Structure 1
Amino acid sequence: MKIHEIREIIKLIDQSSIDEFKLEAEGTKIKLKKTSGTETVVVAQPVAQAPVVQAVAAPMPSVPAVAAAPLVAEAPKAATPVASAADDANLHKIVSPMVGTFYSAPEPGKPPYVQAGDKVSSNKVVCIVEAMKLFNEIEAEVNGEIVKVLVQDGQLVEYGQPLFLVKPE
């Protein structure tokens, strides 16, 4: 199974009401869980069984999922700067709604949508996250001032990963 296929599955599960998804096919096993902390877990390992697909729409307890099996395919995690807890308490985080590539500008060579210090309104586009050749505009969600851009242009981002810190008005 290819990484772009896994990303598409994550996107579809994210947009659905399914809380848990399991897939075993072509020597690969994938398990996705949604929890109250907006966390998606992907586990892929070789299997020697016939293809099995199982979906569960029941609420899941908010216990962190732990993978005991070795990982075969995992999307890379981007490092995010560590800010003090006191600073984060007053700031709104604009997070990525999907796995994809972060773009700060509408086109290469154009100025970025926003930079640190810019004022934004709740419906202002602050970046694009590209997933599966679809360019998704991400809006600020709140009125305020961009305090920090947490990712770099062209960087891969995870579902729920903070992209910007905003000081709300």
Structure 2
Amino acid sequence: MTASSNQELRFLDEATLSALKELIELLEKSSLSSVRYEQEISGVRHSVELSKRAKDSKFLGNIDPSSFCGPEPVKEQILSSSEGSVRQDTLYWVRSPLVGTAYVALKPGADPLVKAGDQVTVGTPLLIIEAMKVMNIIKSPVSGRVKEVRFADGHPVEYDEQLLGIDTQA
């Protein structure tokens, strides 16, 4: 226990602190993930919850990070668009960097920042994602022509979701 946790536990007597130390040792040796100790003193209920650190968890050790990270494999297919067909392998997908609500314009009723068919350069504002009341402007990381828009204005988007397809060969 640290000095700050001792101050937080000042309502406990030495016998109770000793019992808590034993509980900590038992918790470390057992398969339990947490233990809660409650005590009522003068009509006031005090509780202490002890839990294992995440690095000790059996659940985290079995996850393979490559199963949810990394680039999506490129599949060559023909997509139809308003300007004819474009090969999938020439599209750069702008992905959502966070979970939030996507907007096509800077304010309601304004013209969209970009739409299918628009030419963009590096740094061109593409869309806005609102997350926790903060408006995040997403800018183009590549130059090309916007071929596909895969989100609806004012609708939620997920992390890493494909939002815009930009043809880098156009």
1:137 match: 137
Which deviations, in whole Å up to 9, do the C-alpha atoms of 1:68-93 show, x marking residues without a partner? xxxxxxxxxxxxxxx96353211000
Which of 85, 89, 92 does residue 77 from structure 2 map onto? Answer: 85
Which of 59, 62, 80 does residue 66 from structure 2 map onto? Answer: 62
Letter in 2 for 1:108: P
1:37 match: none
Task: Say which structure is richer in helix.
Answer: 2
Letter in 2 for 1:85: Q
Could you say what the CA RMSD is over the residues aligned between the two structures, in angstroms? 3.2
What is the TM-score with the length of structure 2 in the denominator?
0.53
Distance 1:50 1:95, change over 3 A: same
1:31 match: none
2:43 match: none
Q: Which has the higher contact order (CA 8 A, sep 6+)?
A: 1
Identity, in percent, stands at 33
CA apart distance, 1:64 = 4.9
Distance 1:55 1:98, change over 3 A: farther
Mapped partners of 1:55, 1:124: distance in 2: 42
CA apart distance, 1:165 = 0.5
Letter in 1 for 2:125: V
2:152 match: 152
What is the TM-score with the length of structure 1 in the denominator?
0.54
Mapped partners of 1:119, 1:155: distance in 2: 24
1:109 aligns with 2:112: no
Distance 1:51 1:151, change over 3 A: farther
Total equivalences in the alignment: 105
Mapped partners of 2:93, 2:146: distance in 1: 10
Structure 1: tracts of 5 or more residues without a match: 1-23, 25-48, 66-82
Which structure's CA Rg is the greater one? 2
Mapped partners of 1:154, 1:126: distance in 2: 14
Which deviations, in whole Å up to 9, do the C-alpha atoms of 1:76-112 show, x marking residues without a partner? xxxxxxx963532110000100000000000001000
